[in-house]
Amino acid sequence: MKESTLQKRLVGKMNTSTKEQEPMEFEGIPLEVVRRRVRYSRVEFKTAGLRVVVPRGIDPLQILENNKQSIVKKYHKLIKQRETARKVPMIDWTGEEFSRIITRYLDRYSRQLKVKPPAIRFRKMKRRWGSCRSDGIITLNVFLQFVPEHLIGYIIYHELAHIVVRGHNRKFKALIAKEFPYYRLFDKELNLYGLRLLS
């Protein structure tokens, strides 16, 4: 049996290359192989395609072939999600409108949850809409300025709820569901905005 073109390229790069990142393709999917000092291999999807992270000396082709069916399935699903994401309506709140929305929901949900965050910060984030530190400081993604108001309120409630319950355990989900019974629909909607804005 002849070696595949990908296998030849991978083997060649493994033997001769000292680069950390090696661009190529797998099943028509743009691929990046990253060799790091990690214990376990992992496969992850990025904006440009697929990334496989492997320990040095491990054959990435074997990892890809072992997970070929699920990789291809997830990739096609992601392509469809990105097509849908391009159609979601973008909101462009003015700075004043955005500030008013943030203040309104912070006041409402802080009283409701009986919490008082010591500070609210804003910054660009690539993977999340908000975060809550163990000291209660909340950071919100500036890209929330482009999503509908109900999603801004949902994110604020979510982060304030983390002051009450750390992590995403059953107790936390129950707290979210109490205010947002259909929170999974909001999560899906945020995922689409994330694909459009954060990718």
Residue 133: CA atoms inside 13 Å, Cβ hemisphere, count?
10
Kindly report, residue by residue over 107-154, the tens digit of the pLDDT: 999 999 999 999 999 999 988 999 999 999 999 999 999 999 999 999
- The predicted structure's pLDDT at residue 150: 97
Q: Which two tokens stand for residue 140?
A: 């919100």
Q: How confident is the model at residue 26 (pLDDT cuts 50, 70, 90)?
A: confident
**Residues linked to residue 63 through DSSP beta bridges, in sequence order:** none
pLDDT greater at residue 132 or residue 75:
132
- 7 has pLDDT over 80: no
Region 63-86 average pLDDT: 87
Q: Which amino acid is at 171?
A: K
Radius of gyration (C-alpha) of the chain in whole angstroms: 21
In the chain, where the domains are located: 5-85, 95-197
* CATH H-level superfamily of 95-197: Metalloproteases ("zincins"), catalytic domain (3.30.2010.10)
Q: Which two tokens stand for residue 83?
A: 């097509």
Per-chain mean pLDDT for the chain: 86
- The predicted structure's pLDDT at residue 75: 87
Kindly report, residue by residue over 45-68, the tens digit of the pLDDT: 876 688 889 888 888 888 888 889
Q: How confident is the model at residue 8 (pLDDT cuts 50, 70, 90)?
A: very low
Please state which of the ranges 1-15, 27-41, 151-165, 173-187 shows the lowest mean pLDDT: 1-15
- The predicted structure's pLDDT at residue 17: 41
- The predicted structure's pLDDT at residue 22: 53
Q: Residue with structure tokens 């072939």? A: 65
- The predicted structure's pLDDT at residue 48: 67
- The predicted structure's pLDDT at residue 141: 97
Region 170-197 average pLDDT: 94
Residue 33: CA atoms inside 13 Å, Cβ hemisphere, count?
26
